[in-house]
Amino acid sequence: MSQHTVTLTDNKTGKTIELPVVEGTHGPPAIDVSKLYREAGFFTYDPGFLSTASCTSQLTFIDGNKGQLLYRGYPIEQLAEKSNFLEVAYLLLYGHLPKPTEYDNFEHVIMHHTMFNETVKNFFDGFRYDAHPMAIMVGVVGSLSAFYHDSTDVNNAVHREIAAHRLIAKMPTIAAASYKHSIGEPFIYPRNDLSYTGNLLHMLFATPCEPYEVNPVAERALDILFILHADHEQNASTSTVRLSGSSGADPFACVSSGIASLWGPAHGGANEEVLKMLDEIGDVKHIDKYIAKAKDKDDPFRLMGFGHRVYKNYDPRAKLIRQTCYDVLESLKINDPMFELAMRLEEIARSDEYFIKRNLYPNVDFYSGIIYKALGIPTNMFTVMFAIARTAGWISHWTEMIGDPAHRIGRPRQIYNGAAMRDFVMPEDR
């Protein structure tokens, strides 16, 4: 069978070029433009990467029209129901569901890398008491590159694996320490006999003064949220990790760059913004005013937790999180008017022509904050929670990229539209 190609014609010169088409397992085919510049003298232009595949990947697939999300081929709904976060992290990192012994070994390794070097504690003291925990995360995770010199040879597969384990293991410890720093409480050391999320809850909420018991409802809810946030193919933060890593940079520094990108309100920072927005709306009777603001092109306000670059249907994660909201609030016997408000906001937005026409649905961030709030996690820690879970995806993408012998430094082109070449002008002549 002849190879699928696409022929481009330059209507200025009449010249044509035939470009190969690359097909994946699922998803639209892609035109391979890698030789376009060399053979035809053109760059491609795609701000925001609306139509550009930056790499091939075997990790995650999203069908935005169907509202489908697969990790290594497994539907997110099945993983959320039947798996747990550490198993999903293994799946993302190694490509298959672990056999029981593989899982036990992995869990043991992760739960025995949870402590950070004691001197890392000093970094926290350098931050003001009211520093945003995401700012602390960027700094402290980046600082790990100064500590683990035995695992920073990115060309060594064993080093890469150790770095991946360390990152997944230490993120909850660093996250909890950021929180404790902000409230002026002593850091709580990890407990390796607890589950991944149980240990995180312990480090967040225990104090040295009294015993702390992990609530299994909170532990499972957090685990489900972490499964749903673990990966999402080439989003801004993952692409940042890949681009940073493409130069051979240290993995801890690369993940720190991913955290920085995640923090933005258009990305993971939206979960914090949703709660602030719901707080500001305050009552069902004000919803119409905020819907009108979101539709007004002269008003920068956007409905936070709504819309997605890829999903033009209900984000499957939002569906699962909404259900988890019901379960958690019911189990913990919490009556949160904010959940009612969020559901009413969704209902009103989804029946509005503006949102229907643009296929704007609730995304992963719309309901997650209500669960975090129910678990006692403060608003400024929401994006940190996201970062802990997404570390599994970031480091799996980094591992996939570095392990691919075809990988090269990422170096986008540009269309320069600045001043044409001109001569320097002396100060007195300007």
Annotated catalytic residues are: 267, 308, 365
Q: Determine which residue in the list 308, 322, 373, 397 makes contact with ligand CMC, applying CB under 6 A.
A: 308
- Per-residue burial over 302-314, b if 16 or more Cβ lie within 10 Å, else e, is bbbbbbbebbbeb
Beta carbon nearer to ligand CMC, 23 or 46: 46
In whole angstroms, the minimum distance from the beta carbon of 139 to ligand CMC comes to: 21
Please say whether the beta carbons of 262 and 237 come within 8 A.
Answer: yes
Q: Is residue 363 a contact point for ligand CMC (CB under 6 A)?
A: yes
Query: Sign of the CA dihedral 175, 178, 182, 186?
Result: positive
Amino acid letter for position 255: V
Q: Is residue 152 a contact point for ligand CMC (CB under 6 A)?
A: no
d(CA 124, CA 174): 9
Q: Determine which residue in the list 141, 168, 278, 364 makes contact with ligand CMC, applying CB under 6 A.
A: 364
Query: Any idea of the CA torsion for 65, 69, 74, 79, to the nearest 10 degrees?
Result: -140
Beta carbon nearer to ligand CMC, 179 or 367: 367
Q: Is residue 235 a contact point for ligand CMC (CB under 6 A)?
A: yes
In whole angstroms, the minimum distance from the beta carbon of 76 to ligand CMC comes to: 14
Angle, helices 364-374 vs 382-403, to 10°: value is 130
Q: Is residue 191 a contact point for ligand CMC (CB under 6 A)?
A: no
277 Cβ partners below 8 Å, 6+ apart?
290, 303, 304, 305
Q: Is residue 309 a contact point for ligand CMC (CB under 6 A)?
A: yes
281 Cβ partners below 8 Å, 6+ apart?
287, 290, 341, 345
Reported residue count of the chain is 430
Q: Is residue 304 a contact point for ligand CMC (CB under 6 A)?
A: yes
Q: Is residue 230 a contact point for ligand CMC (CB under 6 A)?
A: no
Q: Is residue 365 a contact point for ligand CMC (CB under 6 A)?
A: yes
Give the Cα-Cα-Cα angle 272, 274, 280 (nearest 5 degrees). Answer: 110
Q: Is residue 312 a contact point for ligand CMC (CB under 6 A)?
A: no
Nearest residue to ligand CMC, scored by beta-carbon proximity = 307
Q: Is residue 360 a contact point for ligand CMC (CB under 6 A)?
A: yes
Q: Determine which residue in the list 123, 290, 306, 372 makes contact with ligand CMC, applying CB under 6 A.
A: 306
Residues 399 to 428: which contact ligand CMC by CB under 6 A? none
Please give the residue ranges that form the binding site for ligand CMC (CB under 6 A): 235, 266-268, 270, 294, 302-309, 358, 360, 363-365
